[in-house]
Structure 1
Amino acid sequence: MMGMPGIDTLTLIVATLARGALTAAQVALGAGLLAASLGLLLALVVVFVRNPLPRAAIAAYVEWMRNVPALAHLFVLYFGLASVGVRLSPLTAAVVGLGLVGAAVLCDVFAAGLRCLHAGQREAALAVGLTPAQALRAVLLPQMLRVTLPSLGNYASQLVKDTSIASAIAAPEVMFYARNLVTSTFETPLIYLTAMLLYAAMVLPISWAFARLERRTAGGVR
């Protein structure tokens, strides 16, 4: 029967997984920024550009990225590109892969948020002398962000959890270190329980922050 792990083992497990949690947070931040910026750009094209060709291309991109597992995209970026001489680091492949998948998700979110705004708001902003860019920045985007906060919060929480798949391409995040620790310490339940607690420690503050933002913006509307 195995005994309780010693203090040194506990310290090693916590310190190692915490290092992985820091990497996971960096991947989530980088992928989230890429997803938000690209997703917003795509949504603006879908909503405001009348040419059917770019809209059809974006629709095809969104469908492809949303219906193929994110892990497959990471494999293509990390292993597939390496076979033709383009070598990305595991972290870069994870950020780009998760960011491109997230852009497809947020494109739909942002486009739906923009479409739910009354068209007269943009027309009124242009009528008082604002340029289209100023109307977008000062009038439309703030309201769109308020409307999409619940979806953005869900996406941000899911993105942190999705960083776990980056271990499949040797990105040194929580699950990568967890598997290595299992083979060296054999403290399987303790290691994976600690990993679960670390993910919860990253995700719960995000959920609380977005819930608070929703309450504050709802209060501002009232």
Structure 2
Amino acid sequence: MFFQTIADNIADWGPRLLAGLRLTFSVTAGGFCLAFMLALLIEFLRTRRHAAVRFIARLYIVSARGVPILVILYLLYFALPGAGITLSAVAAGTIGLAAVYAAYLAEVFRAGLHAVPAGQREAALSSGMSPLQAFRLVLLPQAVRHTIAPLLINLVSLLKDSSICALIAVPELTLVSRELMSESFLPLHVFALTALLYFGLAWPASLVARALEQRLHQQGQRDSGRGKRPVVEVAAVG
């Protein structure tokens, strides 16, 4: 009976759920890309010698991690128009997710950079590179391999948190599902399909992240046995 009801409604539900899923993917991808670039900037500022610059970077991280995502979305979507800045729901959702996850990704990059031998930066600076060139050309490429797995974990978390954007009227998967539930009065059937769609996106990425973590851990153990600097495990969003 359960599956028959889904089969009877899938012709109507399917295209609408897939349209919501595409927007969910767009918001997730856009938010992650913005968060990635902002996190790189934050981490670069945190490595500067000026105490004021480092303080600003640390303050942003603490503030972004200490405020609920929904509050930030409300500020962007409902409060900014009072200051003369109006964002669409999709733009506010994407920017809000990026603003929060930039703080988490900055911590990922910090741990990845700590896995790079300290002498690498001094060697790059002594060769005539600027601090930005040393960060971009020497430190970051070496840190990337330590951050791939936790970056994927944070991407999965961002995907799931994108459902909060439904509360500012972003027509992503969760909002579309709520509309279908209101029309059909079949919440169990609708949200079972919704959960399956989220799972279909998140599970493969989680498997890849787990495999990369295991490989990184094994490589760290081999490097430790050879007397090399062990790989630092990177904390990610839970």
Q: TM-score, normalised by structure 2?
A: 0.83
Aligned equivalents of 2:2 and 2:213: distance in 1?
Answer: 48
Corresponding position of 1:90:
89
Pair 106,6 (structure 1): closer, same or farther in 2 beyond 3 Å: closer
Equivalent residue letter for 2:172? E
Corresponding position of 2:113:
114
> How much does 1:148 deviate?
2.0
Equivalent residue letter for 1:9? N
Corresponding position of 1:198:
197
Cα deviations across residues 129-154 of structure 1 (Å, max 9, x unaligned)? Answer: 65654443343112211122232122
Bigger mean CA offset, 127-136 vs 107-116: 127-136
Corresponding position of 1:26:
26
Aligned equivalents of 2:162 and 2:93: distance in 1?
Answer: 8
Q: TM-score, normalised by structure 1?
A: 0.88
Aligned-partner SS, 1:33: helix
The gaps in structure 2 that reach 5 residues or longer are 223-238
Alignment map for 1:18-167 (pairs within 5 Å):
18-47=18-47, 49-127=48-126, 132-167=131-166
The gaps in structure 1 that reach 5 residues or longer are none
Cα deviations across residues 120-173 of structure 1 (Å, max 9, x unaligned)? Answer: 122334456656544433431122111222321221110000000000000011
Aligned equivalents of 1:6 and 1:142: distance in 2?
Answer: 48
Q: Is the 8 A contact 1:44 1:111 kept in 2?
A: no
Equivalent residue letter for 1:156? L
Question: What's the % identity of the aligned pairs?
Answer: 36
> How much does 1:7 deviate?
3.9
Aligned equivalents of 2:128 and 2:72: distance in 1?
Answer: 45
Aligned equivalents of 1:159 and 1:211: distance in 2?
Answer: 17
CA RMSD of aligned residues (A): 2.5
Aligned-partner SS, 1:87: coil
The count of residues paired between Structure 1 and Structure 2 equals: 221
Aligned equivalents of 1:108 and 1:133: distance in 2?
Answer: 19
Corresponding position of 1:172:
171
Equivalent residue letter for 1:5? T
Pair 129,191 (structure 1): closer, same or farther in 2 beyond 3 Å: same
